[in-house]
């Protein structure tokens, strides 16, 4: 039985979000809408995922489908970083002019994009315990696990996430490389435009 009060938790979330919004507003950092959407999306996702995981625990045969959805979500997240901008397109065209295939012409850009896609997972793993206290770790400690057990499980979670994101980022870059190499960025839609 939970000892948490949903109303108090909601109030705490609202106060913390208000602090974040006030801070970025005063500093002139333009991420207020992104922060609000991230919190709302995170809340909905966590509720849905909690329900799905509870279902998977009761029906283990569905774990393959659940893992498949996770891979697709990670791939979609990585795919957004694959495109090249107007500064990079000249390099792609140069490779194409030399006879490279679209996949070969975008290979270096794909490696860079995959590396960029992994930055959040690497940062999350690097900062665990020093900058952030990951949820699984804290939950296990509050549930009575020893610090060593909590650290072991959290490390498995973090490295598992890093592995899944690495596979998703590299596969996305490789699978979309041929398409990206044949799709010239439209003026005004790129980071440089």
> Are residues 48 and 72 located together in one domain of the fold?
no
State residue 59's pLDDT score: 94
Structural domain total, the chain: 2
Tell me if 63 sits within 8 A of 56, measured CB to CB. yes
> Are residues 39 and 104 located together in one domain of the fold?
no
> Are residues 90 and 167 located together in one domain of the fold?
yes
Q: How confident is the model at residue 11 (pLDDT cuts 50, 70, 90)?
A: very high
> Are residues 132 and 163 located together in one domain of the fold?
yes
> Are residues 18 and 80 located together in one domain of the fold?
no
Q: Is 126 exposed, middle or buried (0-12, 13-18, 19+ CB in 10 A)?
A: exposed
Provide the percentage of residues in the chain whose pLDDT is more than 70.
88
Which pTM value belongs to this model? Answer: 0.59
Segments forming the whole domain that contains residue 24: 1-58
> Are residues 54 and 65 located together in one domain of the fold?
no
> Are residues 34 and 70 located together in one domain of the fold?
no
State residue 62's pLDDT score: 92
| Tens digit of each residue's pLDDT (9 = 90 or more) over 13-61 | 999 999 999 998 998 889 899 999 988 988 888 788 888 888 988 999 9
């Amino acid at each position: 039985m939970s000892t948490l009060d949903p109303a108090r938790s909601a109030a705490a979330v609202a106060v913390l979000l208000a602090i974040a919004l006030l801070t970025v507003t005063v500093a002139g950092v333009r991420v207020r809408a992104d922060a609000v959407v991230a919190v709302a999306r995170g809340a909905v996702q966590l509720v849905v995922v909690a329900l799905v995981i509870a279902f998977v625990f009761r029906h283990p045969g569905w774990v393959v489908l659940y893992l498949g959805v996770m891979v697709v979500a990670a791939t979609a997240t990585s795919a957004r970083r694959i495109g090249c901008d107007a500064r990079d397109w000249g390099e792609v065209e140069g490779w194409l002019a030399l006879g490279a295939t679209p996949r070969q012409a975008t290979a270096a850009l794909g490696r860079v994009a995959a590396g960029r896609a992994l930055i959040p997972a690497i940062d999350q793993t690097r900062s665990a315990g020093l900058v952030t206290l990951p949820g699984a770790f804290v939950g296990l400690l509050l549930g009575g696990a020893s610090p060593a057990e909590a650290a072991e499980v959290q490390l498995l979670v973090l490295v598992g996430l890093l592995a899944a994101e690495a596979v998703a980022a590299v596969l996305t870059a490789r699978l979309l490389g041929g398409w990206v190499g044949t799709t010239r960025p439209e003026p005004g839609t790129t980071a440089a435009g």
